[in-house]
Amino acid sequence: MVVKPKIRGFICTTAHPEGCKRIVKEQIDYVKQKGKIDGPKKVLVIGASMGYGLASRISAAYGCGASTIGVIFDKQGADARTASAGWYNTAAFEEFAHADGLYAKTINGDAFSSQIKDEVIALIKKDLGKVDMIVYSLAAPRRSTSDGTVYSSVLKTTGGEFTNKSIDMKTDTVEQVTIPPATEEEIFATIKVMGGEDWKEWIGALKSAGVVEDGTVTVAYSYIGPELTHPIYKDGSIGRAKDHLAATAKEITSSIDGVTAYVSVNKALVTQSSSAIPVVPLYISILYKVMKEMGLHEGCIEQMQRMFAEKLYGGQVQTDENGLLRLDDWEMRPDVQEKVSEIWNRISTENLSECTDLEGYRKDFSRLFGFEAEGVDYETDVDTAVGIESII
Ligand code: NAD
């Protein structure tokens, strides 16, 4: 069928197989061109189909020559329905990896469940023996625990109401949004979903099963951002979950022998999950404009290639005084933030296109679903029922 974008609020309900493939290839080419990294050789990536997780998998495979097992939660397509973008990304990644002689297998299912943990352990035992790196890159709206409880995360403040500027992408207008405070119950649920509990369960399960090499590194991702987003992010319900994630890194390192856990604080980028956060898309549109003008802009693949090559496997591990890897180092540069804040103070519907990189934001959003890729004919019929070569 001919596939066109169908955008509903913060998501696009269609995805383009050829476009996703092309964009995965661009990421692979970027990593290849940056050269070899003396890094891990057997890598498990949990949340491997989109955004930072996909970029981590590509960096491990094509930078370090690693065998990779990916855990994804995606939908296969059929003749009249497209698959999710993560499905097409994974199909493309595996196809390229296999053609290049790299081991790559994928397990599709709920990473929070013990069934998927058991399946991953069995696969590692059968094919790799052990892993030497585990990337935890889930961004999920909810989590079901083994007792059947479903926890839903919220994007709210933890203090009082917070009012600030936001962008309405449907009408290209700058509006004021008011974000209510989360209840204690909502904060608890957000920590359950986006905090470190499941990360620790994964590492504990892998370690108990004897499938973790001594000297294994595990990394999970976080965000801090500038003061203007603190009420909704760093000091909001999601920030409380990220505090829990950081505390969990310390717990994993001290309680699980042979494993060192890091939290990497990454740059704010357009992904499926960040587009749902109020205030943040307007901030990202301004940030893109400033960082592109200063020649400092990076996407997920540039960030993750740099994390592997410089922060984790460039010799000494590079952390800040709190033990965090800082991939937001360029975003948080005072000269960048001064410019962003100056624009933030005067941004309005009237000067939106001149003061932000809204076009870049929109393009990146479309590209999440395989649209606006170079060299793809979007008027041609494509096979939407593409399979993943080694899916379990
Ligand atoms: P994303 O939406 O692009 O990717 C999330 C991935 O998790 C997808 O592959 C999705 O399929 C997978 N996933 C979700 N639920 C799952 C489940 N139950 N089982 C298996 N897989 C599941 O998100 P992202 O922006 O790349 O976020 C990844 C991490 O990076 C998150 O911890 C996020 O907070 C963090 N981060 C994001 C940004 C940003 O600006 N996007 C910045 C800093 C840190």
Q: pLDDT tens digits for 120-149?
A: 999 999 999 999 999 999 999 999 999 999
pLDDT of residue 372: 97
CB half-sphere exposure, 27, CA atoms < 13 A: 35
pLDDT higher than threshold 90 for residue 296: yes
- The residues annotated with a catalytic role in the active site are 233
Q: How far apart are CA 36 and CA 381, in angstroms?
A: 38
User: For residue 50, how far is its CA from the centre of ligand 1 (angstroms)?
Assistant: 7
Q: How far is CA 87 from CA 24, 30, 190, 322, 369, in A?
A: 12, 21, 26, 36, 10
Q: With 90 as the cut, is the pLDDT of residue 278 above it? A: no
Task: Output the CA 153–ligand 1 centroid distance in Å.
Answer: 13
78-103 burial: b if 16+ Cβ within 10 Å, else e = eeeebbbbbbbbbbbbbbbbeeeebb
**pLDDT at 350 (0 to 100):** 96
Q: How far is the CA of 346 from the centre of ligand 1 (A)?
A: 32
Counting from 1 in the atom list of ligand 1, the atom nearest the Cα of 368 is: 3
pLDDT band at 55 (very low <50, low <70, confident <90, very high): very high
As for ligand 1, residues whose beta carbon falls within 6 Å of it are 47, 49-53, 71-74, 86, 110-112, 137-140, 221-223, 266, 268-269, 271-274
Residue minimizing CA distance to atom 29 of ligand 1: 137
| Per-residue model confidence (pLDDT) at position 275 | 85
How far does the centroid of ligand 1 lie from the alpha carbon of residue 198, in Å? 14
Does residue 281 register a pLDDT over 80? yes
pLDDT, mean of residues 313-334 = 97
| Residue 79's pLDDT band (cuts 50, 70, 90) | confident
Q: How far is the CA of 33 from the centre of ligand 1 (A)?
A: 26
Confidence of residue 274 (pLDDT cuts 50, 70, 90): confident
Average pLDDT (342-353) is 96
pLDDT bucket at 8, cuts 50 / 70 / 90: confident
Identify residue 273 by its one-letter amino acid code. Answer: S
Query: Which one, of 72, 139, 135, lies nearest residue 308 by Cα?
Result: 135
Q: How confident is residue 342, by pLDDT bands cut at 50, 70 and 90?
A: very high
- Ligand 1: centre distance to CA 125 (Å): 26
CA distance 155 to 141: 10
* Average pLDDT over every residue of 309-335: 97
Q: Which atom of ligand 1 is nearest to the CA of 300?
A: 26
Task: Report the pLDDT averaged over residues 378-391.
Answer: 91
The torsion angles phi and psi of 32, rounded to 5 degrees, stand at -60, -45
Cβ-Cβ contacts under 8 Å for 99 (sequence gap 6 or more): none
Average pLDDT over residues 173-190: 96
Out of 11, 20, 50, mutate this one to test ligand 1's pocket (max ligand atoms within 8 Å of CB): namely: 50
Shortest-distance Cα residue to atom 11 of ligand 1? 73
Mean local confidence (pLDDT), 172-201: 96
Q: What residues pair up with 43 in beta bridges, in sequence order?
A: 68, 133
Quote the mean pLDDT of the chain: 96
Mean local confidence (pLDDT), 212-231: 97
Nearest-CA residue for atom 12 of ligand 1: 47
* Best of 72, 90, 138, 197 for a ligand 1 pocket test (most atoms within 8 Å of beta carbon): 138
Question: What is the number of the ligand 1 atom nearest to the C-alpha of 245?
Answer: 32
Instruction: Quote the pLDDT of residue 288.
Output: 97
If you take atom 34 of ligand 1, which residue's CA is the nearest one?
222
**Whole-number pLDDT of residue 122:** 98
Name the residue of 27, 44, 73, 152 whose CB sits within 8 Å of the most ligand 1 atoms, as the mutation to test its pocket.
Answer: 73
pLDDT recorded at residue 390: 85
153-170 pLDDT per residue, tens = 999 999 899 999 999 888
The per-residue DSSP string of 43-73 comes to EEEES-SSHHHHHHHHHHHHHH--EEEEEE-
- Reply yes or no on whether the pLDDT at 38 is more than 80: yes
The tokens describing 273, both together, are: 């999950």
Angle between helices 237-255 and 197-208 (to 10 degrees): 20
Over residues 17-26, mean pLDDT: 98
| pLDDT tier at 196, thresholds 50, 70, 90 | very high
Q: Whose CA is nearest to atom 18 of ligand 1?
A: 110
C-alpha 381 – ligand 1 centre gap (Å): 30
Nearest ligand 1 atom to alpha carbon 266: 43
Report how far residue 61's alpha carbon sits from residue 48's, in angstroms, rounded to the nearest whole number: 12
**Ligand 1, atom 14, residue with closest C-alpha:** 140
Residues 6 or more apart in contact with residue 339 via CB below 8 angstroms: 290, 294
pLDDT of residue 272: 85
The atom of ligand 1 lying closest to the CA of 223 is 43
Residue 224 CB partners (closer than 8 Å, separation 6+): 233, 234, 265, 328, 332
